[in-house]
Amino acid sequence: MKTTIPIITFILVLVGHASLVFAQDNTQVGLPDGAIARLGKGGINIMRFSPDGSKLAVGTDVGVWLYDVSDGNATALFTDKPGQVNALAFSSDEKILASGGHGNPFIQLWSLENGTKHSTLFFKSEFRYVVALGFIGNTLISYDNSGRIIYWNISNGDILTELEKVNPNQAVTFSPTTNLIAVADNLHKIHIYDTSLSDKHIVFHDDGLDELKKDIFALAITSNNKKLVSGSEDKAIRIWDIEKRKLTTSLNVHKSTITSVAISPDDKILASGDASKEIILWDVDNPKELRTLLGHKNTVTALAFSPDGAGKYSGCLASGSHDGTIRFWNPDTGEKLVTFATGHAKWIKTIAFSENGSTLVSANMTGNAVVWSLNSYQEIGSFTNGESDYAATVGFTSDAKHFVCQGLNGWQFTFKPYGFGYTSKDGENYEALPLRMWDITTREEVQGPWNENSCDILTFSADNKILAIYGSDNVLGWNIDSAEELFDLSTEDIWFIEHMVISSDNKYLAVYESSEKLYIWNLEKPEDPPVQTKSDIDSLAFSPDGNSIAILRSGNIFLHDIESFPDGEPEEILTDLHGHVARMIFSPDSKILICAGFSGVISKISIKLLDMETGQEIGNLSGHSELIETLAFSHDGKILASGSFDGTILLWDWEKISKRQEMVK
């Protein structure tokens, strides 16, 4: 017989295994209307040390985290509108921090004396956003997605000069002196502009750059403006002589896509990070490998060297990763100095509330499961048994007790530096791990026939009794407690299942495939063939009361009566949702349908609230900067949680939101 460990003991055990890191509490800063807390800090896009090395600014998918390097304390800097931060720059007098990125048509200036907003610089079009920033004195220089270099007077926000150049593809960087800007275009060529020379910006022509056949993801310029370093999808580091306008060195040691590069302040050491978790240090003057830094558990996304003479961590290398950590290294010895910060993970894949309402659990793209307190909104433990390079399939029972995961090792991810999307591929040592289940309250593995199966998609029943998995040719279902097989549904004629869900009464199982066809089985008669729809769909949800199924198709919702589906005439609700990774869930009383996805002409990420009685949109929740992957309600129906590719979970006050919508009706 298993002995159940009390939840308090379980939490203490988890905390006892935590690494030494600095703690911060910024969960309620910059919240959108209707939210009560944000869990997580967002995936890391860029890092920059202040000129004196006392501060480290980290741009994530949701905002800026300004760390005090001496004690690790952080200040969260959020604009009024959520958006990715892909560009950062400190003024030379260290009084101003400029930030901006995808999703926001403005540049935010922050006062470093008190961590508050200084002023806002607006672009002329809402379709424009900044991809690189640099200061020269009181002038801020920006490079935006439309290919324009703009000179701003930060004293009054005026545009001094605007010059149109080339559109960026994957990488843009300023030199440390801000005299040069390097841009990788969509033809895999590099352009360099001298920002101090009026309109004579092209100083490095395209001649001789045909060696670049893959996308360039990382660029860096030495402080003396003599050398340019590029890292690309073809795994090569290239060093260019800017004055002679030619390639001088190619370094081919990395095993995967180069995702970040940085050069030490004295121009002696080059650091490069990749999608296979490695950081390699190189001698710049005599190009050769110095040492490899190992420790990150996922793609290295950002690198930055601290200035010399900057106190305790003077001259150190800071590295950020999709594993959620920022680490400091001694570049001379390769020693890891400290795990400076955590909580910057990417892509929340699944979430669930405990039945007593005290905790929420989440799992990210690596399969790391985190336990969050719903009283303090802080991480109080983690469960790492399911960790891998990529958690291909993950899921919690709705009571947050059982966790199922199938991971892949040797799998490499590169997210687009601006906007949405990613590329992934298997590496040299690709390995598919077994499908495993744990009771995370006891930390014990739950053995069963599921261990012998490969899984692409899984789902649990609402009563937490059934696990269903989709493999290559069938959908299998078991009783979790007894391990008894309940059904074996053939899917030989189905191409690839994108999503799977069981109705609240366990009567129906629905899937839709990559060609977006819908299939529904009656689990009371599993031997019968499934009902197949005639039209493509983008998403679906069963109502908790067991009466309805909502289908998203071509941007609109079709509400069907389950018993008469698919022959009965559905109620159509008009929306402007786009179907890509759209997620839907009904409110606990089945009166409101919550739909998360792209909406509008410029594809904003939003959560739409649709009244099932009137068919009207009655609300819109905005707060995530990337696609929303998962939605869940607390068991008392008071909180709605949304988890996103941006690496954060937003907790919404559903009581207030639903009452507000009722008043609007």
Contact 38, 650 (CB under 8 A): yes
297 lies in some domain: no
Q: Whole-angstrom Cα distance, residue 403 to residue 394?
A: 7
146 lies in some domain: yes
Q: Whole-angstrom Cα distance, residue 329 to residue 264?
A: 13
Residue ranges making up the domain that contains 132: 43-164
Helices (H) and strands (E) in the chain, counts: 2, 57
Contact 282, 289 (CB under 8 A): yes
Q: For 287-313, how does the pLDDT look when each residue is reduced to its tens digit (9 = 90+)?
A: 999 999 999 999 999 999 999 877 889
**pLDDT on residue 189:** 80
114 lies in some domain: yes
Q: For 325-337, how does the pLDDT look when each residue is reduced to its tens digit (9 = 90+)?
A: 999 999 999 999 9
* Torsion angle defined by CA atoms of residues 419, 421, 426 and 427, in that order, rounded to the nearest 10 degrees: 0
Q: Whole-angstrom Cα distance, residue 316 to residue 330?
A: 5
Q: For 527-542, how does the pLDDT look when each residue is reduced to its tens digit (9 = 90+)?
A: 999 998 877 788 899 9
Query: In terms of Cα–Cα distance, which of 241, 276, 243, 244 is closest to 258?
Result: 276
Contact 60, 44 (CB under 8 A): yes
Comparing 24 with 142, the larger pLDDT belongs to: 142
Q: How many domains does the chain have?
A: 1
- Tokens 């995702």: give the residue: 259
What's the half-sphere exposure (Cβ side, CA atoms, 13 Å) at 283?
A: 6
**pLDDT on residue 579:** 59
Distances (CA, A) of 157 to 54, 82, 139, 140, 153: 27, 21, 10, 10, 5
214 lies in some domain: no
Three-class HEC string of 609-629: EEECCCCCEEEEECCCCCCEE
Tell me the average pLDDT across 274-296: 95
Q: Whole-angstrom Cα distance, residue 336 to residue 342?
A: 15
216 lies in some domain: no
Q: Whole-angstrom Cα distance, residue 516 to residue 495?
A: 10
**Amino acid, single-letter form, for residue 47:** M
- Residue 243 pLDDT exceeds 90: no
535 lies in some domain: no
- Residue 472 pLDDT exceeds 80: no
Comparing 321 with 573, the larger pLDDT belongs to: 321
Is the preceding peptide bond at 566 cis, omega within 30 degrees of 0? yes
Give the Cα-Cα-Cα angle 299, 300, 306 (nearest 5 degrees): 170
Q: How confident is the model at residue 352 (pLDDT cuts 50, 70, 90)?
A: very high
Which of 135-139, 161-165, 368-372 shows the highest mean pLDDT? 368-372
Tell me the average pLDDT across 90-103: 94
Q: Which residues contact 563 (CB under 8 A, 6 or more apart)?
A: none
231 lies in some domain: no
Query: In terms of Cα–Cα distance, which of 262, 278, 338, 218 is closest to 48?
Result: 262
Q: For 380-403, how does the pLDDT look when each residue is reduced to its tens digit (9 = 90+)?
A: 999 999 999 999 999 999 999 999
**pLDDT on residue 212:** 52
Contact 89, 97 (CB under 8 A): yes
Comparing 210 with 445, the larger pLDDT belongs to: 445
Tell me the average pLDDT across 58-87: 93
Looking up residue 143, the CATH number of its domain turns out to be: 2.130.10.10
Comparing 601 with 70, the larger pLDDT belongs to: 70
| pTM, two decimal places | 0.92
What percent of the chain has a predicted confidence (pLDDT) above 90? 65
> Average per-residue pLDDT in the chain?
88
Residue 563, phi-psi category: left (phi > 0), alpha (psi -120 to 50), beta (remainder): alpha
Q: How confident is the model at residue 6 (pLDDT cuts 50, 70, 90)?
A: very low
Q: For 182-210, how does the pLDDT look when each residue is reduced to its tens digit (9 = 90+)?
A: 998 877 788 888 887 655 444 444 444 45
Q: Whole-angstrom Cα distance, residue 621 to residue 642?
A: 10
Distances (CA, A) of 387 to 302, 349, 614: 22, 13, 45
Q: For 580-607, how does the pLDDT look when each residue is reduced to its tens digit (9 = 90+)?
A: 667 999 999 999 999 998 876 556 888 9
**pLDDT on residue 537:** 84
* Torsion angle defined by CA atoms of residues 537, 364, 609 and 28, in that order, rounded to the nearest 10 degrees: -170
- Residue 297 pairs in a beta bridge with none
51 lies in some domain: yes
DSSP string, 117-130: EEEEEE-SSTT--E
